[in-house]
Every structure is written in C-alpha cells, then in structure tokens.
Copies of this chain bind each other. A is one copy, B any other.
Amino acid sequence: MEVQIAVAKVSKYAVSESGDTLEVVERPNGGLSVVLADGQTSGRGAKAVSQMVVRKVIGLLAEGVRDGAAARAASDALFTEKQGKVISTLNIASVDLNSGTIVLTCNNPAPIFIARGEQIDCLEEESIPLGTSRNVRPLITEIAIEPGLVIVIYTDGLTHAGKRRGLPMDVGATISSILEDQDPTPQVLADALLAEAVSLDENRPADDISVLVLKVTSRIGDNVRRMSVRLPIDGKWQ
C-alpha cells in the first residue's frame, strides 16, 4: 500500500502571507504527521499564531508525545500567552505505522470528510479551536489504513468561499462529484476543491484557504518515499 498526501494552499487576496501554517514531521516510532493550523485574523499576526501552534505540536510529536496531548499542550500555551483573546484551529493527521491507523486530531469547527468507495462520511461533531479556554479537548478519530480510503481536511477559508456573494460552497457535493468522475490523485482532488473555492470568491479569496487530502492506494511498487513542493514566487525583490 501507499499513503499519498497532497496539500494546496493559497493566501487571502492581496495579502502576501497566508495565516495558515502546514508542516509535516516524521513520527519517531514510524510514519508521519501533517499539522495544519489557522490563526485568527489574517496576515502576519495570524501567521505568528499558527506558526507558534504548529511548532509546539511538531516539537512534541517529534519527542513521541501523543497527538491529543500535543494539541492540548498547544492550546494551553496559546491560552497562557494570549489569555483567550487569540484562537487558532488545529488539525493533525497522523499516519501511525505502529497501529496501522490514521489518527485525526481536530480542534476545528470545519468538518472532515472521509470517503471509502462510494460512501462519504462527514465528521462534524462540535470541535473547539485552541486557546479558547483552559480545557480544550481535541476530537480524535482513528481509522484503519486500507486501500480506497480518502480523507479531506481544510481550513475555514473553504467553508466561507462564495458566502460574500450568497453562493456558499457545498464541499461534500464537490468532493463526491470529483470522486465519482475518476480515481483522482490526492493532488487533483485538493487542487479541484481549492480552484472551486477560489472561483466562488471570483479569484479573490476572502480568506486564507488550505486543503489537505490523504489517500491510501493499493499500489505496490518501489520502496521509495517521495516528496515534492511547489512554491510560486513573484520576484518582488528584483
């Protein structure tokens, strides 16, 4: 099998820096974790908050701390620093090779979609962002790694897309229509969701948007780990 992970990420229109931070870290006991945070507001302030949260979480995960405990620690640190005045959402998606599961840790009101074949489930239990109070519990979901599994996680920029014009995005329906058509790679799915949101915002995203897709395939091939990153730059230093 192969776990494939893809991310597509854009910043709010006319703001050079996305307030969303996403990083990937190797787990000390095997596998990896993707950590995504969306700091309140946008621009540099939001970036500083989401970077602080992600940094705290990946530091703890790298030491072997469990995902839920890392999320609670980041929440306490943020609450201590900002006294509840600044909050941040957090999603951790861990491929845990010890247990053979994907562990989803969520402090984000935005739902998570989980598709297995034709069936698409939506995790939308109440989930509270970090830094809101002293006792923030993450929502934790554990799913067996099996071929055909697709998981879609995103920040609220996707939920808000089009709302300005009264045309909110139906994320579940969009995922369903893309999955029906083909057997898309996770990058195709992430790109398509982001493109739909940006188009609903008339190419001027009203908020930072990040989309993270995990897919498990039955591919048996070489034993090579691969990663690629594409960073558009506007050459403003020139």
Contact = CB atoms under 8 A, between A and B. Distances in A.
Nearest to A231: B3
A228 to B, nearest CB: 4
Contact residues on A (Cβ < 8 Å of other chain), bracket:
35 or more
Given A223-B10, A224-B191, A97 B233 contact: yes
Contacts of A191: 224, 226
A24 B55 contact: no
B17 A30 contact: yes
Given A237-B99, A238-B100, A226 B224 contact: no
Copies of the polypeptide in the assembly: 2
Interface string A20-37: 011111101011101000
Contacts of A226: 6-9, 187, 190-191, 228-230
A194 B227 CA distance: 13
A99 B4 CA distance: 34
B231 A95 contact: yes
A28 B51 contact: yes
A4 B224 contact: no
A1 interface: yes
Contacts of A198: 222
Nearest to A101: B237
A237 B5 contact: no
A234 to B, nearest CB: 8
Contact of A26 (B31, B51, B186): B51
Contacts of A30: 17
Contacts of A99: 237
Given A8-B224, A23-B26, A24-B24, 15 more contacts: A2-B231, A2-B233, A4-B230, A5-B228, A9-B225, A18-B225, A55-B59, A97-B237, A100-B235, A100-B237, A187-B226, A194-B224, A224-B230, A225-B230, A227-B230
28 contacts: A1-B235, A2-B230, A4-B228, A5-B227, A5-B228, A6-B229, A7-B226, A9-B224, A9-B225, A9-B226, A10-B222, A10-B223, A11-B223, A17-B30, A23-B25, A97-B237, A98-B237, A145-B233, A145-B235, A190-B226, A198-B222, A222-B232, A225-B229, A225-B230, A225-B231, A227-B228, A227-B229, A228-B228
